[in-house]
Chains A and B, each alone.
Chain A
């Protein structure tokens, strides 16, 4: 139909591909993370490293209590596990379960289509990106995020968070966010850029290990792995393969169901790109 809308329909066909059909991007990279919950001790090293690396503002007790903290990565703690229960005894019989939680960079991210100004979008690196100076603060994205990992600047946090000379410790590679914008985990996009730039300067392909996120770098038990899923030799793609978890599915059909890999909220078909490895319990 040679009409004015022809192009639109044609593009729509391209963009309306669901996750099951591989989504709509010609990805150059597909950055992904895996976290071994059996090695995670819940120590907070990752989340504090994130504060240092990404210029996260601390907000104080009152705002923290109002759910206005700017923690991109939080370590959740539960005393029960659906698979083993809390136990019927009067006392806990085993330790807690820790869950480092940050933006999962969903390939079917529910936050992206609801942004009225396209401030949050999917990059060719497979990242769920946030453009701060495009964001108008509608907060639709945060409302639509089932994992609650988007942090909104309800206040101009910078003056209290970095009184001079603390501002001298800010990471110059990362923008300090201002009042009224949404922010979230970027998978340390500045480190991704630096890694890519370095490889380019050295005239070689990006190698596994060129990019290390701040949380991964500091994790004392090495529970976190990060890398490019499109690089078949990378640790991360090996991990996904080994764990028999595939992107683009809302239900995994594992050959060996005893492999530990899983994704949170998979049933929502948001196609998260963080692979968690199940907690192991003695029974």
Chain B
């Protein structure tokens, strides 16, 4: 190797030359690749470490942290750099596949705007200073996070227990809370396993399972099989077309907020036309009986023919699966229908609980966002750790998050990027990217596997002074005097011991096997559904016909806004509108005509909580009473790439009554929309939505498909 002594980090850095050298050899070296220090020296590779064979990429297993689903990944490491992620084929959840957000991990990892040094009140500090201050001021601290699982959750719990039992708020604007609550009520299992591949028909009411809901990559894999012959039928009912709706065979527009009524109406038709029994559920049966098709039409705009078609399809394609997340009422009614149709046990099976249940995912909700704001505003939170969530961006104005945060005496952010929330924190601890850190993660809704995914660093820190999330948790825990943590020098040591304990072996070989597989399979406890019981089913009255309501879809890509600082995600065209880099308001053409606006016209969308102004995009995948502004843009402090667009979450209704039933995001919020007079072309992938008769996407009927076994 080299003459001088060189430590490992410098060794890696020096090997980075391999990249520049290769580019030069290819004679197309881009001019911006500057030669690094020492580039003129040549180091031989006589004794390279195993992962440093020049020119050869080696794949290491880790876990994706771009959304709460926590898919297993393989990262390609070459010359000490991670270059590309692919799905880990050995996982039950994603089996070799990842979504666009996972692909963009690399861009987040090498991002120039990542936090690089700890700060105290905005000024650079050392880790020792920052951690000492944290130790001094965070007794009784609350934890404010996104969905968390694995040993990171264990350490947070241990910290809370050792320091006065502060509350843990798990905030996810994109969540499955309505479904989880309904499943817990009716099945006694908040996250039953879904078998989309085994269903012959799937009906979704506001559960965008192909896009953002639950575990999208797993759902998409199952969906691929669902489409094999005999081909399953997908139906969607929603106010604005989602990615799942965009793949539906039958798509039905429903007035925002009327989804529960439509589900009850389907039950009505199933009982009256098809004789499906609601025996043993008199209250539910009464709710179905009361929701006549005429009433459904009046409330939702869904016609009797549409209702009947959906009910007929569910009957003729058994087993089916009905997924709903539009509201608590809709989800509850959907689960009752699953019980009545005999889907429970077939396309819905009990989840598998980990014996080590402290590792299980604590799934987030927007209810926690509201409660966090209210508790903070009431002065109930003295100190808080905030990590993996951005409450200042996600909170509606009505929650007054700025005031709420200012009432918390001491706030610590553990973050990789500066955002709207870190700005108001007293101490900011810069964490390594997920590709540089250790961790364990239990995928939400991961199927009956007991799999725990292992996150291992794929390269040295890009920014030397950042620390792994687990390492920070460990320091914080040690600072609070959590028993047993003192023995560990770093999170790796802790995790290795913890995982060894989990698999009952501390052999080097077993640990290496776990790292290679990217997962360990832990002991599980089989669960059983409880017997279906009678529940009261209700629905909320939507706004009157002709009143516009605001919908804020989440889309795979920007998600809840956390990926808005990634140019790849900004430039990946929205699945529905195909717009890039800016916000837009989706509207039915008839609605636009009534307002006197056309594509590209700016409209001001006003609620009691404020106004946003953005451009109109019209298409017919909307209920005429809905205006949809997808969330994710409109950041004010999230770096140079996230400046465009508007944030519809700020003007959403935050009233407690609303939160009890429907969570924040699907609230049926009446809005006034008025043109501002400006117009600017909305930049989209293509400016055509029609094939103009050319056979680009050709079509065949399902009968023909099934007759030929799908061409298999």
Contacts and interface: CB of A to CB of B under 8 A. Distances in A.
Interface in A168-206: 168-172, 175-178
B243 A176 contact: no
B697 A92 contact: no
Interface stretch (B94-102, B358-366, B528-536): B94-102
Nearest to B220: A220
B211 A37 contact: no
Interface string A30-70: 00000011110111110111011100001111101100010
Given A69-B571, A93-B251, A168-B16, A77 B578 contact: yes
A279 B23 CA distance: 42
A91 interface: yes
Interface residues of B, number: 112
B708 A64 contact: no
Nearest to B29: A176
Interface string B211-227: 10000110011011001
B690 A86 contact: yes
B591 to A, nearest CB: 11
Contacts of A169: 81-83, 106-107, 109-110
A132 B695 contact: no
B246 A95 contact: yes
A65 B582 CA distance: 12
Given A74-B685, A172-B79, A218 B23 contact: no
A8 interface: no
Interface residues of A, number: 92
B251 A92 contact: yes
A281 B699 contact: yes
Contacts of B83: 52, 169-172
Contacts, number: 311
A229 interface: no
Contacts of B581: 60-61, 64
A280 B231 contact: yes
A36 B227 CA distance: 10
Interface in A62-94: 62, 64-65, 69, 71, 74-84, 86, 90-94
Contacts of A58: 567-568, 570-571
Nearest to A262: B698
A69 B245 CA distance: 28
A2 interface: no
Given A95-B241, A172-B19, A281 B247 contact: no
B27 A133 contact: yes
Nearest to B71: A220
Interface stretch (A9-17, A106-114, A115-123, A156-164): A156-164
B246 A44 contact: no
Contacts of A243: 711
Contacts of B557: 44
B580 interface: yes
Given A133-B27, A167-B32, A282 B97 contact: no
A260 to B, nearest CB: 5
Contact of B705 (A162, A163, A260): A260
A14 B618 CA distance: 54
A81 B691 contact: yes
A166 B30 CA distance: 14
Given A92-B241, A169-B83, A45 B99 contact: yes
A83 B699 contact: yes
A67 B556 CA distance: 24
**In the complex, the 6 A-B pairs of residues with the closest C-beta atoms, listed nearest first:** A221-B224, A220-B220, A61-B581, A48-B100, A65-B683, A83-B699
